[in-house]
């Protein structure tokens, strides 16, 4: 299936309060109405979307969450993903109702291999065991489980342990997403923002644990010059075409907007072999951390993402280090 996905931001209320939440400043807007979301789904379908990601805030704490998933199913969306902190899935009855309504992909966030790390970040006591139980329940119900972990200063050293936990939980895929300094992550910048080049050795070890155990892995918002040996695991190589329904406007081509307004390349990138396929880091990163870490990679110019995926010799599936 060629996936054209719509991300529906269903509102901003959440039962976690993460130190790095990019939406934190929007909480006072609350949630959108059931009808607004149904209208957005209908419009997205007319625009040609065949996949939907329900996101927030926290989508699953809405009273109408099951009804909205059923509505998306009725409209004919083939892929229905819940992007969630996963806590509500600790309740097996709720998880079963979601699956019966049509949810087929579970995208929980887990940021620490043990409660002390995860709950320091989510500022929600009990959230670790609920999310872990949610993952176990989702797997029992046969959902594809795609976990996201935001990499921040307090957790980057533990990404290999986190990867081991994901292996134990039999997740289908995990992604390490480098923190984006918006919302709370901007407010708590000093506390949250790691130096990328210091975090990378740990992130790579975590990725390798997943790779060697046959789990899909990705790393988001990290440029290729930081990914030596792991280039084919850049999330940007795989992101499907996506439109986004923000409360008041549509973004029809998220990739274009992300590159133009979200990410940043540097003067030195002009001589890098990845310059035509690289998006650079989130643009807020170099504003405080500088640009010296990003060193152009010498070699034959890479013209398309597919060239990386097709070239197993230069960009091996099993990293050598």
Residue 268: CB minimum distance to ligand SF4, A: 6
Structure tokens at 68: 């909205």
Residue 35: CB minimum distance to ligand SF4, A: 43
- The secondary structure of the chain in percent helix, strand, coil, rounded to multiples of 5, reads 45, 15, 40
Stretch that binds ligand SF4, among 192-200, 267-275, 299-307, 309-317 (CB under 6 A): 267-275
Euclidean distance between CA atoms 40 and 34, whole angstroms: 10
Q: Are 219 and 207 in contact (CB under 8 A)?
A: yes
Residue 190: CB minimum distance to ligand SF4, A: 24
Strand order in the sheet with 173-178: 216-220, 173-178, 144-151, 105-108, 79-84, 51-55, 4-9, 241-245, 250-251
- With binding defined as CB under 6 A, does residue 113 bind ligand SF4? no
- With binding defined as CB under 6 A, does residue 297 bind ligand SF4? yes
- With binding defined as CB under 6 A, does residue 102 bind ligand SF4? no
Q: Are 163 and 174 in contact (CB under 8 A)?
A: yes
- With binding defined as CB under 6 A, does residue 280 bind ligand SF4? yes
- With binding defined as CB under 6 A, does residue 108 bind ligand SF4? no
Select from 46, 30, 25 the least CA-distant residue to 10.
30
- With binding defined as CB under 6 A, does residue 285 bind ligand SF4? no
Q: State which residue, 252 or 292, has the beta carbon closest to ligand SF4.
A: 292
- With binding defined as CB under 6 A, does residue 183 bind ligand SF4? no
Residues contacting residue 269 through CB under 8 Å, at least 6 positions apart: 275, 278, 280, 294, 296
Stretch that binds ligand SF4, among 42-50, 77-85, 158-166, 262-270 (CB under 6 A): 262-270
Number of residues lying near ligand SF4 (CB under 6 A): 15
Q: Which of 183, 216, 240, 296 binds ligand SF4 (CB under 6 A)?
A: 296
Select from 165, 148, 127, 153 the least CA-distant residue to 217.
148
Q: State which residue, 18 or 272, has the beta carbon closest to ligand SF4.
A: 272
Residue 186: CB minimum distance to ligand SF4, A: 21
Cα torsion angle, 16, 17, 23, 24, sign: positive
Residue 225: CB minimum distance to ligand SF4, A: 3
CA 65 to chain centre: 21
Residue where the block lists tokens 């704490």: 61
- With binding defined as CB under 6 A, does residue 234 bind ligand SF4? no
Stretch that binds ligand SF4, among 110-118, 123-131, 144-152, 272-280 (CB under 6 A): 272-280
Residues 193-232 that bind ligand SF4 (CB under 6 A): 223-225
Stretch that binds ligand SF4, among 5-13, 93-101, 153-161, 268-276 (CB under 6 A): 268-276
Whole-angstrom CA distances from 127 to 89, 93, 133, 276, 321 are: 11, 18, 10, 41, 35
Q: Which of 117, 244, 265, 302 binds ligand SF4 (CB under 6 A)?
A: 265
Residue 50 burial (CB count, 10 A): 17
- With binding defined as CB under 6 A, does residue 302 bind ligand SF4? no
Which positions lie near ligand SF4, rule CB under 6 A?
Answer: 223-225, 265-266, 268-269, 272, 274-275, 278, 280, 294, 296-297
């Amino acid at each position: 299936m060629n996936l054209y996905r719509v991300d529906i931001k269903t509102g901003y209320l959440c039962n976690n309060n993460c130190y790095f939440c990019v939406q934190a400043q929007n909480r006072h807007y609350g949630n959108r109405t059931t009808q607004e979301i149904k209208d957005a789904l209908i419009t997205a379908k007319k625009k040609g979307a065949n996949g939907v990601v329900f996101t927030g805030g926290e989508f699953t704490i809405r009273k109408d969450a099951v009804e909205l998933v059923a509505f998306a199913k009725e409209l004919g969306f083939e892929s229905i993903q819940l992007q969630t902190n996963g806590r509500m899935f600790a309740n097996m009855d709720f998880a079963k109702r979601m699956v019966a309504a049509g949810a087929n992909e579970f995208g929980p966030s887990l940021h620490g291999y043990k409660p002390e790390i995860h709950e320091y970040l989510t500022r929600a006591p009990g959230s670790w065991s609920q999310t872990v139980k949610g993952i176990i329940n989702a797997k029992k119900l046969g959902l594809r489980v795609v976990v996201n972990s935001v990499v921040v200063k307090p957790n980057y050293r533990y990404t290999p342990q986190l990867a081991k936990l994901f292996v134990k939980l039999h997740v289908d895929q995990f992604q390490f997403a480098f923190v984006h300094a918006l919302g709370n992550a901007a407010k708590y910048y000093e506390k949250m923002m790691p130096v990328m080049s210091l975090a990378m050795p740990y992130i790579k070890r975590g990725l390798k644990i997943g790779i060697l155990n046959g789990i899909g892995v990705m790393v988001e918002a990290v440029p290729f010059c930081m990914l030596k040996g792991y280039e084919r695991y850049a999330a940007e190589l795989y992101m499907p075409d996506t439109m986004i329904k923000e409360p008041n406007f549509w973004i029809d081509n998220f990739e274009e907007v992300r590159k133009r307004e979200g990410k940043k390349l540097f003067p030195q990138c002009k001589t890098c072999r990845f310059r035509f396929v690289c998006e650079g880091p989130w643009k807020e990163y170099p504003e405080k951390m500088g640009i010296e870490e990003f060193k152009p990679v010498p070699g034959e110019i890479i013209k398309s993402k597919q060239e990386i995926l097709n070239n197993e010799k230069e960009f091996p599936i099993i990293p050598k280090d």
